[in-house]
Amino acid sequence: MRVLLRMCAVVAACVLAAALALAAQEKLAETQRTPPGKVEPVGVAPLKPEDILTPTAAGAPVDPKTYKLGAEDVILVRVWREPELSGLNVIRPDGQITMPLIGDVPAAGLTPLELGAKITEKLSQFINRPEIIVLVQNVRSKRYYATGEVLRPGAYPLVVPTTVLEALTLAGGFREFANTKGITVLRGAKRFKFNYKDVIKGKNLSQNILIESGDYIIVP
C-alpha cells in the first residue's frame, strides 16, 4: 500500500510540473503576440533593401539602387512577416506586376529600391509600417549573346556595364582555332570590329566598347 501511495504521489507531481510548464509557455507566447492589425517585427530587424546585392540565376550581382527593371525580369517581393503577400513575380510586357491587396503596380523602368518604395506606399493603406524588399531573381529584359568559337556560347544577362573584353571573359574565352583578331559585335544593322590581341596589349582600346542589350558577339 505504501508503495502504491508513493507511485501516485510521483505521478501527481509529474502532472503538476507539466501543467506549470505549459502555462509558462502560453504566457510567454501571449507576451510576444503582435496586436491585431499591426505588423511589428520581433527580434532581429529585417535587412534594408539598399544593403542587399542579389545574385541572379546567372550569378551576376544586381545593385538595387541602379539596375532598371524591365519586362520579363523575375523578381521576388518579400513583405516582412506577411508570407501570403510575398512571392515571385514576372514583370509583364505592359511593365507591371500584380500583388494581393493592391493590384497592379508599375515596375518596368524602376530600380528594385524604387519599386519597393512604391509597394510600401500602396501597402501602407492596409498594413501598419510594411517592410518590403524587392530582389531580382533572373534578368531576362537585358541580354547579350556570345556565339562562335567561345567556350561557353549562349545568352548572358546584362546586369552591369560590360565591355566586349569582359563579355568574352564571361563566355569562358576562346576555343583553340578562334580568330581573335576578327571578332565582330553585331548591333542591329551596325557592326563593330574587335581585335582581342590588340586590346590585351593596350592598343586601340577604343574598340573595347560597352555592350548593349541585344548585341551579338561573334567569334569566327
Amino acid at 173: G
Extents of the domains making up the chain:
49-138, 143-219
CATH of 143-219, one of 3.20.20.450, 3.10.560.10, 3.40.710.10, 3.40.50.1220: 3.10.560.10
- DSSP letter for 210, please: B
Mapping DSSP onto H, E and C, the string for 101-163 reads CCEEEECCCCCHHHHHHHHHHHHCCCCCCCCEEEEEEECCCCEEEEEECECCCEEEECCCCCE
Average pLDDT, stretch 112-132? Answer: 96
Rounded CA separation 171/169 (Å): 5
Q: Are 118 and 189 in contact (CB under 8 A)?
A: no
State the distance between the two ends of the chain, measured CA to CA, in whole angstroms.
99
Of the ranges 12-26, 31-45, 161-175, which one carries the lowest mean pLDDT score?
31-45
pTM, entire model: 0.67
pLDDT greater than 60 at residue 57: no
For 109, what's the count of Cα atoms within 13 Å in the CB-facing half-sphere?
6
Contacts of 129 (CB under 8 A, 6+ apart): 39, 40
Rounded CA separation 159/55 (Å): 10
- Share above pLDDT 90 across residues of the chain, in percent, rounded to a whole number: 70
Domain 49-138 has CATH 1.20.1250.20: no
Q: For residue range 36-48, what is the model confidence (pLDDT) as tens digits?
A: 443 333 333 455 5
- Cell numbers of 152, please? 561557353
pLDDT value of residue 60? 62
Average pLDDT, stretch 199-220? Answer: 97
pLDDT value of residue 205? 96
For 72, what's the count of Cα atoms within 13 Å in the CB-facing half-sphere?
6
The two domains 49-138 and 143-219 share their CATH topology (first three levels equal)? no
Rounded CA separation 96/119 (Å): 12
pLDDT value of residue 5? 42
Length of the chain: 220
pLDDT value of residue 62? 87
pLDDT value of residue 61? 76
